[in-house]
Amino acid sequence: MIDYFLTEEEEIIKELARKIAEEKIKAKRAYYDETQEFPWDIVKIMAESDLFRIFIPEEYGGFGGGVMSLTVAVEELSRGCAGIALAYAGTALGTFPILLFGNEEQKKKYLPRIAEGELAAFALTEAQAGSDAGNIKTRAEKRGDYYVLNGTKQFITNGGEAGIYTVIALTNPEKGARGASAFIVEKGTPGLSFGKKENKLGIRASATREVIFQDCKIPKENLLGKEGMGFIIAMKTFDYSRPGVAAQALGIAQAALEEATKYAKERIQFDVPIANFQAIQHMLADMAIKLEAARALTYQVARNIDKGNTKITKESAMVKCLASDVAMEVTLNAVQIFGGYGYMKEYPVEKLMRDAKITQIYEGTNQIMRNIVASQLLKEVK
Amino acid sequence: MNIIVCIKQVPDTQDVKMDPERGTLIREGVKSIVNPFDLYALEEGIRIKERTGKGTVVALTMGPPQAEEALKEAIAMGVDRGILITDKAFAGADTLATSYTLAKAIEKIGSPWVIVCGRQAIDGDTAQVGPELAAWLDVPQITYVSKILEIDEKRIKAERLTDYGYDVVEATVPCVITVNKEINEPRLPSLRGMMKAKRFKPEIWDSSSMDVDRKYIGLEGSPTRVIKIFAPPQKIGGQKHEGTPEELAKIIVKKFEELKII
Amino acid sequence: MPKRELRVIKENCTGCGVCEEVCPYNAIEVINGIAVVRDNCVFCGICVESCAFEALKLYEEKPEERTVPEGYSGVMTYAEVLNGELSRVSLEILSIARELAKRLNTNVTTLLIGHNIEKHAKALINHGADKVIVVDHSELNRFIDEKYAKIFVTAIEQFKPEVVIGGATAVGRALFPRVAALLKTGLTADCTEFDIEKETGLLLQTRPAFGGNIMATIKTEFTRPQMATVRPRVFKPLTPEERDGEIIKLEYEPHKESFVKQVLDVLITEGETVNLEDADIIVSGGRGVGSKENFKVIFDLAKELNAAVGASRAAVDAGWIPYAHQVGQTGKTVSPKIYIACGISGAIQHQVGMRSSDFIIAINKDPEAPIFDIADLGIVGDLFEVIPVLIKEIKKKKGE
């Protein structure tokens, strides 16, 4: 068994997240997957267990843990259910802009709330701006002491449930992407409303909604950093959050590998467990090899970020791309190993397969990830 | 005002299986856990402090040195103090000697407000320690508590599970209560709690730390003795039937007629 | 002070490790090919039983001269009155009491505490009691542990029975331990079998432990009385016949305790029978039922059979049915005539709560479900398809 030399704190976080996954998430995940209801009861448990404090600095009520701690927590929670874990991971994503670019007042105002378990969300994507994030149209007009936001964000994780939204909007449309800025918007602000909950293939326990701004007035103090920094903030945020997506993928893949291995030992065909067949063994072996490789890279990137290495854009993209592709492959093979039973909703693997797919898509599609990796590579190699 | 929760570290009997051939226990890495009912007791103890704003929650356990792990779990949940009573002289105790020893520890802790125990331990399954403790301490007892309705410095009012429903019972404090699973949902430890638990060192008391009469502790204080252990009679499954619902229903009804219930 | 020790007989030990495997307390391990006992050994003896090489022995120093208290004879039973009715278990234990009394060459006395309960004395006598001690007072109309315990202690000190047994009911399991501790005597809970040791006349008490995974036989050598609670529905009441018996009235003196205890209210669960322990037939639902609403099908079948409704822990934990219906290690232990397990996989913790039922029927979609290992009649099918048809068939047979 490989040792990743987790610190004592990371071990405790892993143990607690696993306990929550085993004792609280497992029993309810099929229900939330079926109904798409938002798992508030489990969010409450995560909050009471201090999980939200992990990525908040001590001076704001947190533990000052880093990306590695977050990765470990997200991986274990996702092993229980990626959809439920996303309420947590999505909050981390929505918090990074404040953590990385917030001023003291903003941090003092919002970070303690998140530490207590208030959910956050990150709003960048729009109907016409997915991979082409620069094509956003949501405007933020400065009017005296306020900014007025108009536009619609799409496919926002925790949309409608979160209390705190970090939003990328255009303060200067003529400048295109360079004219974008980042803002903090609170739920309940007049002019902020939400679309219907999307009906999804996977991560169905996660709430995905449109976030609609109609003359939504926010105080100018809610601007993060400076005008024009919007995309810098978004890209930096993704550098930090991509290991989290990778962690999600790792958790899903781990669950799939465990289920498939257990099943292969129990399922008797031709008078023997199918685990005796080399075909199955090789499938399991490939799944395990790829999963461990993805995990090792994910942890290493997370540690780099924690140690202050800011030049990890390429590796962050690599690990998101790798882990999610591995998760897709592992879950597909898990269903295959389960055979007919794998196709039935009563068995847990079809859900894992459905959940895995999104990790190849959000927070930058894997095609964009490859673009990033290539572009960085070409810059590095003279 | 001390809220004293008695807990026990037990083997996880869920993992304990019988080997039908050897007639013995198969225990593949059975781990030690806090007795599940005691988690409900700990939770209730902590809740009493939270709802009244009063009291110090003390987790108390009698066992070998590794029972410290059980206290760590209690600290992680949020109790204020953890005390381990351990001594070779206590070994081999049955419920009478155990409850005596716990009673002596409680006397030493002092100012008992309410003593909370889990309904039973899942290894012994006797459910005796709680009431025996109350007898040694000469305090009232409320067993199988499924809800505490009111509690203050003078009395406790609770619902207890009976064979026909529930009784609402009131007693003066100090009082021993044993709780069942209906009473609450035990909280998971928090990270702060777990970190505190990592650094925690329990207070350790042995037979000389407390005012015990040697003839009531350990083996000597145990009037009951286990003289034999064996496998329970194995039930063997009967015939399995498959078929349409109609066919299956007919099979069942035929059996009902045979057994004379219709 | 007597010393107890688990000794490893090194010449016999092969280091096979079976003892290490079976010890539930992690108290023995094989180091360098020889078993070594750790200091958390509780002397349960499971490893001794499991050793094929007789390399383990439980030693005990001879205790100091201990004498059995003098003057104790007779078998006493405790009769429980629930809401004005004599409980079934009170009659069940009379049958085993008679058996034990015969072997001990003595007779059976029953203690009856409550208010307006003297009318039950005759039934007790007809079911096997030779004497009935009646303690009747308005203050005793509800079970109050402390008052009943003091009366019990007085009665035992007066009548000095060598054996005292009662039902392992909610009352029994609250009352007997308190009495045993007040008398500083031994008590064994939830016994399923009794015997008298030939050489000593001691009561051998057999009961399940470790969630029912093992059976243990226990005796109380040097204290009296030997007390035990008896699992309900294990023994069958004797057929009542007109018998002679003595009714002794004991005065109740209201005790001046240093504390106050009272029963303020009694809530009887309406409708569906919650008293699982008394039911002849139990229909039980598990994870396979799927939801609170779906439990209706279980209740419907139970109604048709005049049965009580039980549930597995999974169903209770999911919130589909209250805890009072839970059958299993952390719920109630039942042994009805017929137990119908619907959509219950039959994990060991559930099994131990119901496997001593006379006849077990299991309905489950999964042919590999462990419940089928102990079901007398296994029905592999969807409970939602089978039960409605079953209800129809039952109604047909009943001629409705």
A48–B189 CB contact, under 8 Å: no
CATH number of A234-380: 1.20.140.10
Q: Decide if A8-119 and A234-380 have a common fold.
A: no
Nearest-neighbour CA in chain B from A66: distance (Å): 15
pLDDT at B21: 54
Rounded to whole angstroms, how far apart are CA atoms B98 and B83? 15
Amino acid (1-letter code) at residue C86: L
Instruction: Name the CATH superfamily housing domain C271-398.
Output: TPP-binding domain (3.40.50.1220)
In the β-sheet with C377-380, what is the strand arrangement from edge to edge? B239-242, C377-380, C359-364, C338-342, C281-285, C308-311
Pick the range with the lowest mean pLDDT from A250-254, A316-320, C177-181, C325-329. C325-329
Let me know: does C64 contact B38? Beta carbons within 8 Å: no
Cβ–Cβ contact B78 with A under 8 A: no
pTM assigned to the model:
0.85
Which B-chain residues 43-72 have CB contacts (< 8 A) with chain C?
63-66
Amino acid (1-letter code) at residue A107: K
pLDDT at B229 over 90: no
- Angle value at C-alpha C368, between C365 and C369, nearest 5 degrees: 70
Q: Which helix (H) or strand (E) holds A15?
A: helix A8-20
A23–B188 CB contact, under 8 Å: yes
Per-residue pLDDT tens digits for A1-50? 899 999 999 999 999 999 999 999 998 999 999 999 999 999 999 999 99
CA nearest neighbour of A362 among A159, A140, A73, A117: A159
Cβ–Cβ contact C31 with B under 8 A: no
Tokens 């530490």 appear where?
Answer: A115
Structure token pair of residue C292: 């609170």
Q: Is C274 strand, coil or helix?
A: coil
pLDDT at C349: 81
In this structure, whether the domain defined by C75-249 belongs to CATH 3.90.550.10 is answered with no
Among candidates A9, A23, A50 on the partner chain, residue whose Cβ is nearest the Cβ of B190: A50
Structure token pair of residue A70: 């977050």
Cβ–Cβ contact B20 with C under 8 A: no
Amino acid (1-letter code) at residue A16: L
pLDDT at C1: 45
pLDDT at C324: 84
Chain A partners within 8 Å of B194 (Cβ): 12, 15-16
Structure token pair of residue B13: 């009997």
Distances (CA, A) of B28 to A27, A285, B18, B62, C211: 25, 26, 11, 25, 17
Pick the range with the lowest mean pLDDT from A148-162, B100-114, C172-186, C384-398. C384-398
pLDDT at C270: 56
Instruction: Name the CATH superfamily housing domain A8-119.
Output: Acyl-CoA dehydrogenase/oxidase, N-terminal domain (1.10.540.10)
Q: Decide if C75-249 and C271-398 have a common fold.
A: yes
Which C-chain residues 224-283 have CB contacts (< 8 A) with chain B?
257-269, 274-275, 277-278, 280-281
Nearest-neighbour CA in chain C from B209: distance (Å): 19
CA nearest neighbour of A353 among A332, A323, A322, A324: A332
Q: Which residue of A has its CA nearest to B193?
A: A49
Cβ–Cβ contact B189 with A under 8 A: yes
Rounded to whole angstroms, how far apart are CA atoms B109 and B94? 22
Q: Which residue of A has its CA nearest to B78?
A: A49
Q: What is the DSSP letter of B195?
A: H
pLDDT at B16 over 70: no
Which C-chain residues 98-137 have CB contacts (< 8 A) with chain B?
none
Per-residue pLDDT tens digits for B29-64? 567 889 999 999 999 999 999 999 999 999 999 998
Rg over CA atoms, chain A: 21
Q: Which helix (H) or strand (E) holds C109?
A: strand C108-114
pLDDT: which is higher, A380 or B234: A380
Would you place residue B237 in the very low, low, confident or very high pLDDT band (cuts 50, 70, 90)? confident
Segment of B131-135, B250-254, C391-395 carrying the highest mean pLDDT: B131-135
Q: What is the mean pLDDT of chain A?
A: 96
Please list, in sequence order, all residues whose beta carbon lies within 8 angstroms of the beta carbon of residue A126, skipping any fewer than 6 positions away. Answer: A135, A136, A137, A138, A151, A152, A153, A154
Pairing of strands C108-114, C75-79: parallel
pLDDT at B15 over 70: no
Q: Which residue of B has its CA nearest to C306?
A: B261
Strand partners, B165: C268
Let me know: does A265 contact A90? Beta carbons within 8 Å: no
Would you place residue A201 in the very low, low, confident or very high pLDDT band (cuts 50, 70, 90)? very high
Below-50 pLDDT ranges, chain C? 1, 273
Please list, in sequence order, all residues whose beta carbon lies within 8 angstroms of the beta carbon of residue B34, skipping any fewer than 6 positions away. Answer: B7, B8, B9, B10, B42, B70, B73, B74
Cβ–Cβ contact B240 with C under 8 A: yes
Please list, in sequence order, all residues whose beta carbon lies within 8 angstroms of the beta carbon of residue C368, skipping any fewer than 6 positions away. Answer: none
Rounded to whole angstroms, how far apart are CA atoms A7 and A54? 14
Structure token pair of residue C301: 């079948």
Q: Which domains does chain B have, with CATH numbers?
A: 2-216 (3.40.50.620)
Residue positions of A annotated with a catalytic role: 363
Cβ–Cβ contact B195 with A under 8 A: yes
Let me know: does A249 contact A362? Beta carbons within 8 Å: no
- Within chain A, strands assigned E span 120-123, 139-143, 146-157, 164-170, 180-186, 192-197, 208-219, 223-224, 268-269, 272-273
Would you place residue B20 in the very low, low, confident or very high pLDDT band (cuts 50, 70, 90)? low
B125: left (phi over 0), alpha (psi -120 to 50) or beta: left
Which C-chain residues 51-80 have CB contacts (< 8 A) with chain B?
60, 63
Domain ranges of chain C: 4-60, 75-249, 271-398
pLDDT at C331: 85
> Distance between the two ends of chain B, CA-based, in angstroms?
59
Q: Select the CATH number that applies to the domain covering C4-60 from these four: 3.30.70.20, 3.40.50.720, 3.20.20.100, 3.20.20.70.
A: 3.30.70.20
Would you place residue B17 in the very low, low, confident or very high pLDDT band (cuts 50, 70, 90)? low
pLDDT at A3: 96
Instruction: Name the CATH superfamily housing domain A121-230.
Output: Butyryl-CoA Dehydrogenase, subunit A, domain 2 (2.40.110.10)
